[in-house]
Structure 1
Amino acid sequence: MQGSRIFMVSLSIVSLFTALISDGIIVESSSYIKALFIYLLFSCLYHHLRIISRNGNTSIDYGINYSLSIGLFTGPLGLFIFEVIYRFSVYLYKKQTKTDDPDEFFHTFYNIGSFVMSNSIAFYLFNLLYPLFQDAAFGFWIIMLILITVTSMLSDIFLITVFKLTGDIKTKQEAIDFIKTRSVLDMGKIAFTNGLLLLFLNEGKWEMLISLFILNYLVSRSFLSKSQMLQNKIERDKFEQMAYTDFLTGVFNRAYMDKKMTELNQSAEHIAIVVADIDKFKRINDSYNHAVGDQAIRHFADSLKSYLSKDDYLFRSGGEEFTIIMRFRSYEECLNLAQKIRKGIENSTFHADFKDQSISLSYTASFGLFYYKVNKLLSIEKAYVYADQLLLQSKDMGKNRLSSREESIHQHSPKEAVLTNA
């Protein structure tokens, strides 16, 4: 930590020395004061639109930066004055609002030093390249892209040095991965924005300069609002998923089953409600432990899910009880699928850890299936009760069975069947 602080302060001292040995402010005082005021105004205005990311103990602010254009217009000394006023204004604001990092004071020196140094190098590089590119097609914009690439690389080097000293980056690969996070599109946006600002500054088009700042602000503001809306939606979806997901098995829970049943009550579909339950589950818990029992439940859920299509629903409706809603199938198709699931469970095994050993266990399950067309006379909630009664019938007849029933509103004698474990 001490090493990183020394580096930050040293960087700012070197930037001060660079500014002092330069040719001073290379534009008229009146033009510099106008530019300084406008840049400070909009830079402070844009500050709350930045995106904050944390790398270890250090927070990084991502946002469009205008230091290149004012640095090229005024020279290193003019840039240094701008950065000092702007960065310490941000520092005081963060202190007042209690949003500052523990090392915010040193981070301020780092920001001054890194932006002044990288853009001062860009200033001298611009004066070197401009005579070579001034007659070339799009020569000015090629130079701006080169300068943004150079300043981005220098910025990454400075940041990686800080992270190396703080221990947030330990390997070469971590440094490479950090560099890869930089967006080429963002670099292009910064290059063209600073290029336009520099052209307006050189031609004294102050209204155009302010208009571009306002446009950038509106676009950035709109982007931030949409990003926040998207983030809020993602968080809402995540919380909803958590509310409707069973923590042990990852399938839908009873709350989502009730919600989905309410929706399907309006569907007028032909559906099969299947209630399935592990046979003699208490014996698993008593013979081993609840961890083995939990593993059996997870295996049961995964097995059931593996047979179903994307249109079907699987819910954990009780401890070791699951409910399936089969859709878009005939009664015979549902019956055959349920029987296939029952036999698959019977012939499968699962592995669990018990007393420092890996054990292999098997179990059977019983099923109750009720098939009907959703209608106003019989709700899905009532159909679920019928399926549960058919499950109990399978249990009473010796377990490892499938009991089923098909019912139609035009049918006086519903079909019933009990498929044994044969």
Structure 2
Amino acid sequence: MKKYKIFDVFLFVASIIIGFSFAPLDIDLKKYILVVTIYLVFSAMYSNQKILQEKGSLSFDYGISYSQSFALFAGPFGLLLFEIVNRFTTYFQRKVAKTADEDEFTDTLYNIGSFTLYHTVGFIFFFSLYPYAQMIPFGFFLLFFLTALLISFQGNILMLLSFYFSGNLHSWSEVVVFIKGRSILDIAKVALTNALLYYFVMENQWEMLIILFTLNFMVSRSFVSKQESVKNELERDRFREMAYSDFMTGLSNRAMMDKKMREINGTGELLAIVVADIDKFKRINDNYNHSVGDYVIEHFAGMLKSHTGKEDLVFRSGGEEFTLFLRGRGYEECVELLESLRLNVSDHPVEVEFNGVETSISYSASFGLYFNEMSEDLPMERAYNYADQLLFEAKELGRDRLVVRNGQQSLVYS
């Protein structure tokens, strides 16, 4: 049997021994059954309202536990009986629905054992200090908070041990992350809720007890819905990013370029549209292979990114062709940037492994730059075609060229 399963069984056996050491029940049986029924009903409702968050290999449940109030009302033995009924009811429901995990049974034993053990310590702690708490203002609620703090500490220790035995805890940094995930506000929320539940149970205020449970259920439902909404939004953003991204280079793709062109079209923005292309790229593929060609494309994409700023837009518009929208710059500044980029490409060959040998591959690139105001009289599509034509001229002039046009004036840099 695996270590974490042995640990789960050990906690369960220990809870049985501890629980029965507090037998029999020291409360009215009819009242106990009534409270058990109410707690079971709402526990079943809450079972689908967990707020989970994963950080690395660890997961966090931010739902509220109501066992503290029940343990103080019924004692460790009463809590043990409740946890056995509650946890095994959930276990059999999941088995019937075929949603149970592989370790569902031992997880059930862990929940029964851990809850009973650290709430027993909380029970002893609470009633040891209860006479003194009555002497100070808000002592009742303060004592609940201190007890919840103690229970949370024990719960964290047992959970970390479970993570360790199951192999899900790899470093002290993960321990720190887990502990930081348990905030004081969460503990205060649990303490206040359990304090009110305990008060209503002891005072036989059943209407208020049910109202508080219902209110907490509605709040939990709201948090779960918000979490699901945020999760769905993140997933939509991730798929949207994938749809607009080039997987090889990490740049935006042609679809994103078309989208940005529609957004800029007719806005009057002063923009430099640049179409760039790796010279004689087919020869690289033919002389080496397509894998080496991919390295050259990635290298060129890295050069483009390193020479542009946050406001600029860089796209892989197809194959070895790239498009840049240089924003917030004057004409001369754009020309200087591209000429520097062109020279840097020629001066920085790609280092690749080919046939088991480190190989240096030099290459060059050509650029066409069209600079103008993107007004209603100059659609983005037409401006892009002008830049594409300038790239064609750079290729015709011998490659490794920058051909620019500002309005009607064209210049060549080589």
TM above 0.5, yes or no, is: yes
Partner-residue secondary structure (3-state), 1:48: coil
- Whole-Å separation in 2 of the counterparts to 1:403 and 1:55: 51
Name the residue aligned to 1:411.
none
Name the residue aligned to 2:294.
294
Kindly provide the CA deviation profile for residues 354-378 of structure 1, in whole angstroms up to 9, marking residues without a partner as x.
3334333332211111222223343
Matched, 1:345 2:309: no
- Whole-Å separation in 1 of the counterparts to 2:173 and 2:236: 35
Matched, 1:191 2:191: yes
- Whole-Å separation in 2 of the counterparts to 1:214 and 1:364: 70
- What is the 5 A alignment of 1:383-402? 383-402=383-402
Matched, 1:51 2:45: no
Is the alpha carbon distance of 1:334 and 1:43 closer, same or farther for their aligned partners in structure 2, counting shifts above 3 Å? same
Matched, 1:227 2:227: yes
- Whole-Å separation in 1 of the counterparts to 2:55 and 2:382: 55
Deviation at 1:56, TM superposition (A): 11
Matched, 1:111 2:111: yes
Is the alpha carbon distance of 1:53 and 1:313 closer, same or farther for their aligned partners in structure 2, counting shifts above 3 Å? closer
- What is the 5 A alignment of 1:195-214? 195-214=195-214
Name the residue aligned to 1:375.
375
Is the alpha carbon distance of 1:54 and 1:86 closer, same or farther for their aligned partners in structure 2, counting shifts above 3 Å? farther
4+ residue runs over 6 A deviation: 53-60
Name the residue aligned to 1:418.
412
Q: Which amino acid aligns with 1:204?
A: N
Matched-pair contact (CA < 8 Å) for 1:46–1:217: yes
Judge which range, 139-148 or 77-86, deviates more. Answer: 139-148
Runs (5+) with no aligned partner, structure 2: none
Partner-residue secondary structure (3-state), 2:48: helix
- Whole-Å separation in 1 of the counterparts to 2:4 and 2:311: 57
Name the residue aligned to 1:153.
153
Name the residue aligned to 2:336.
336
Name the residue aligned to 2:304.
304
Is the alpha carbon distance of 1:147 and 1:295 closer, same or farther for their aligned partners in structure 2, counting shifts above 3 Å? same
Deviation at 1:242, TM superposition (A): 0.9
Matched-pair contact (CA < 8 Å) for 1:114–1:155: yes
Is the alpha carbon distance of 1:222 and 1:173 closer, same or farther for their aligned partners in structure 2, counting shifts above 3 Å? closer
- Whole-Å separation in 1 of the counterparts to 2:309 and 2:53: 40
Is the alpha carbon distance of 1:273 and 1:54 closer, same or farther for their aligned partners in structure 2, counting shifts above 3 Å? closer
- Whole-Å separation in 2 of the counterparts to 1:177 and 1:405: 56
Name the residue aligned to 2:7.
7
Matched-pair contact (CA < 8 Å) for 1:56–1:168: no
Name the residue aligned to 1:410.
none
- Whole-Å separation in 2 of the counterparts to 1:56 and 1:239: 21
Judge which range, 55-64 or 31-40, deviates more. Answer: 55-64
Deviation at 1:170, TM superposition (A): 5.8
Matched-pair contact (CA < 8 Å) for 1:8–1:109: yes
Q: Which amino acid aligns with 1:102?
A: E
Kindly provide the CA deviation profile for residues 287-342 of structure 1, in whole angstroms up to 9, marking residues without a partner as x.
33333322221121121122222222111012111111122333333333322322
Kindly provide the CA deviation profile for residues 200-251 of structure 1, in whole angstroms up to 9, marking residues without a partner as x.
2222222222222112111111111111111111111111111111111111
Name the residue aligned to 1:317.
317
Matched-pair contact (CA < 8 Å) for 2:60–2:181: no
Matched, 1:125 2:125: yes
Partner-residue secondary structure (3-state), 2:135: coil
- Whole-Å separation in 1 of the counterparts to 2:295 and 2:346: 16
- Whole-Å separation in 2 of the counterparts to 1:395 and 1:275: 12
Judge which range, 268-277 or 201-210, deviates more. Answer: 201-210
Matched-pair contact (CA < 8 Å) for 2:261–2:381: yes
Q: Which amino acid aligns with 1:416?
A: S
Q: TM-score, normalised by structure 2?
A: 0.91
Matched-pair contact (CA < 8 Å) for 2:266–2:379: no
Is the alpha carbon distance of 1:323 and 1:175 closer, same or farther for their aligned partners in structure 2, counting shifts above 3 Å? closer
Deviation at 1:151, TM superposition (A): 1.8
- Whole-Å separation in 1 of the counterparts to 2:54 and 2:278: 47
Deviation at 1:45, TM superposition (A): 0.6
- Whole-Å separation in 2 of the counterparts to 1:58 and 1:343: 49
Q: Which amino acid aligns with 1:113?
A: G
Matched-pair contact (CA < 8 Å) for 1:25–1:76: no
Name the residue aligned to 1:248.
248
- What is the 5 A alignment of 1:175-190? 178-190=178-190
Is the alpha carbon distance of 1:60 and 1:367 closer, same or farther for their aligned partners in structure 2, counting shifts above 3 Å? closer
Judge which range, 340-349 or 235-244, deviates more. Answer: 340-349
Judge which range, 175-184 or 11-20, deviates more. Answer: 175-184
- Whole-Å separation in 1 of the counterparts to 2:171 and 2:385: 61
Matched-pair contact (CA < 8 Å) for 1:24–1:76: no
Is the alpha carbon distance of 1:220 and 1:3 closer, same or farther for their aligned partners in structure 2, counting shifts above 3 Å? same
Q: TM-score, normalised by structure 1?
A: 0.90
Is the alpha carbon distance of 1:336 and 1:232 closer, same or farther for their aligned partners in structure 2, counting shifts above 3 Å? same
Kindly provide the CA deviation profile for residues 99-140 of structure 1, in whole angstroms up to 9, marking residues without a partner as x.
101121222222111111111121111111222332133322
Matched-pair contact (CA < 8 Å) for 1:271–1:327: yes
Is the alpha carbon distance of 1:185 and 1:57 closer, same or farther for their aligned partners in structure 2, counting shifts above 3 Å? closer
- Whole-Å separation in 2 of the counterparts to 1:244 and 1:79: 55
Q: Which amino acid aligns with 1:418?
A: V
Percent identical pairs in the alignment equals 46
Deviation at 1:175, TM superposition (A): 5.0
Is the alpha carbon distance of 1:269 and 1:6 closer, same or farther for their aligned partners in structure 2, counting shifts above 3 Å? closer
Is the alpha carbon distance of 1:264 and 1:55 closer, same or farther for their aligned partners in structure 2, counting shifts above 3 Å? closer
Partner-residue secondary structure (3-state), 1:322: strand
Is the alpha carbon distance of 1:164 and 1:306 closer, same or farther for their aligned partners in structure 2, counting shifts above 3 Å? closer
- Whole-Å separation in 2 of the counterparts to 1:354 and 1:400: 25
Judge which range, 90-99 or 222-231, deviates more. Answer: 90-99
- Whole-Å separation in 1 of the counterparts to 2:352 and 2:27: 77
Partner-residue secondary structure (3-state), 1:323: strand
- Whole-Å separation in 2 of the counterparts to 1:178 and 1:217: 26
